[in-house]
Amino acid sequence: MQWNVRKTLIIGLLAALCAAGSGCAGTKDQERPEIDRARVFNADFDSVWKQLLLAVTTGDEEISMADKSAGVISFRRFIPVKKLGTYAFDDSGMLMSTASANVVVHVRSQGPASTYVLMNAKFTASGKTVLDVFLSRERQVLLGSKGWLEREYFDRLAETLKGTAVKPK
């Protein structure tokens, strides 16, 4: 009898921890605002490409691909866990241990003095819920961008170009 009470108590406790780790099933994803992923720069393609490479090679990034003929740059940047909430939407309820941003940039000429730049960032983070701590495991989650990282790179690019950047219509 006492064994059944213990087993029931342990199963109930584990169920409560699972529910606490995964969040409420009835909550709705918060509405996420549209972020500034694209800008047009009043400069030629070659100038934008050169300055963009300088903007994304500050020492915090690992470039995985830079193909000028295709107009694509891909890189990864490690994000301090303390700054993850600034850059990404994290509704996972996990205690994070590592985070990185995976960024792909597309650069297209729109004319002799106009270049379109599109930047997409996704964040990968590793962490644990309360249940994961008990099970001695760590999981990865993919988080959406709030737009701050993209804005940082766009601002660096605009500063080095000394041109006016405008959003595409």
Judged against a pLDDT cut of 50, whether residue 26 lies above it is answered with no
Q: Which residues contact 46 (CB under 8 A, 6 or more apart)?
A: none
CATH code at position 130: 3.30.530.50
Query: pTM surpassing 0.85?
Result: no
pLDDT digits (tens, 9 = 90+) for 127-169: 888 887 778 888 888 999 999 999 999 998 988 887 555 655 4
Judged against a pLDDT cut of 50, whether residue 14 lies above it is answered with yes
Q: How far apart are CA 107 and CA 68, in angstroms?
A: 9
In a domain, 23, yes or no: no
In a domain, 53, yes or no: yes
Q: How far apart are CA 120 and CA 160, in angstroms?
A: 21
In a domain, 19, yes or no: no
In a domain, 9, yes or no: no
Output DSSP code: residue 31.
P
Residue 130: C-alpha distances to residues 22, 92, 147 (Å): 9, 12, 29
Show the domain range for 118.
36-166
Query: 3-class DSSP state for residue 47?
Result: helix
pLDDT digits (tens, 9 = 90+) for 44-60: 999 999 999 988 888 88
Q: Look at the chain and report how many structural domains it folds into.
A: 1
H/E element, 4: helix 2-22
At 158, the amino acid letter reads A
In a domain, 7, yes or no: no
Q: How do 38-41 and 61-67 pair as beta strands?
A: unpaired
In a domain, 128, yes or no: yes
End-to-end C-alpha distance for the chain, whole angstroms: 72
Contact 119, 37 (CB under 8 A): yes
pLDDT recorded at residue 65: 94
Query: 3-class DSSP state for residue 160?
Result: helix
In a domain, 103, yes or no: yes
In a domain, 3, yes or no: no
pLDDT digits (tens, 9 = 90+) for 76-94: 999 999 999 999 998 888 8
